[in-house]
Amino acid sequence: MSGVTYDTGALIAAERNNRQLWALHRRALERGILPTVPATVLAQAWRGGPQPLLSLLLKGCRVDPFDEGNARLAGALLSRAATGDVVDGSVVVGAAARSDVIVTSDSDDLSALAEAADSNVRIVSI
């Protein structure tokens, strides 16, 4: 397994105690891989209330900031893919730069963006 990037669906799966997601997370950590959560993904999944399982997952992740450079790259990618989901764009831009596997519940949209990015990003559905 290379690096791992979680999208919003992965964070929601963690909060719902999805066994597949937690097993994947455990394997990543056992292999010394610290999964990445784009800041945009965290914003989309976080609801401000008690989210104990999501909070636990985040303790074993790195949050990737979304700065001006990433915003420009994501915007250009969205234009090439003729789509508009900034969060999905940020996931693919970061994962492509790190050669990460993307863990998602939305493989169709992310696959289209990965293709538009001309990257070899692999997508794992949960």
Query: In this predicted structure, what is the pLDDT of residue 84?
Result: 92
The tens place of each residue's pLDDT in the chain, 126 residues long, gives: 589 999 999 999 999 999 999 999 999 999 999 999 999 999 999 998 889 999 999 999 999 999 999 999 999 999 999 999 999 999 999 999 999 999 999 898 899 999 999 988 999 999
At 106 the pLDDT is 85
What is the total count of domains within the chain? Answer: 1
Compute the distance between CA of residue 86 and CA of residue 71 in angstroms, rounded to an integer. 8
What pLDDT, on the 0 to 100 scale, is given for residue 1? 52
- On whether the CB atoms of residues 110 and 78 are closer than 8 A, the answer is no
Please tell me the pTM assigned to this model: 0.94
Domain that holds residue 68: 4-125
Contacts of 105 (CB under 8 A, 6+ apart): 7, 9, 10, 12, 13, 125, 126
Three state DSSP letters for 22-38: HHHHHHHHHCCCCCEEE
What is the rounded CA–CA span in Å between residue 105 and residue 112? 14
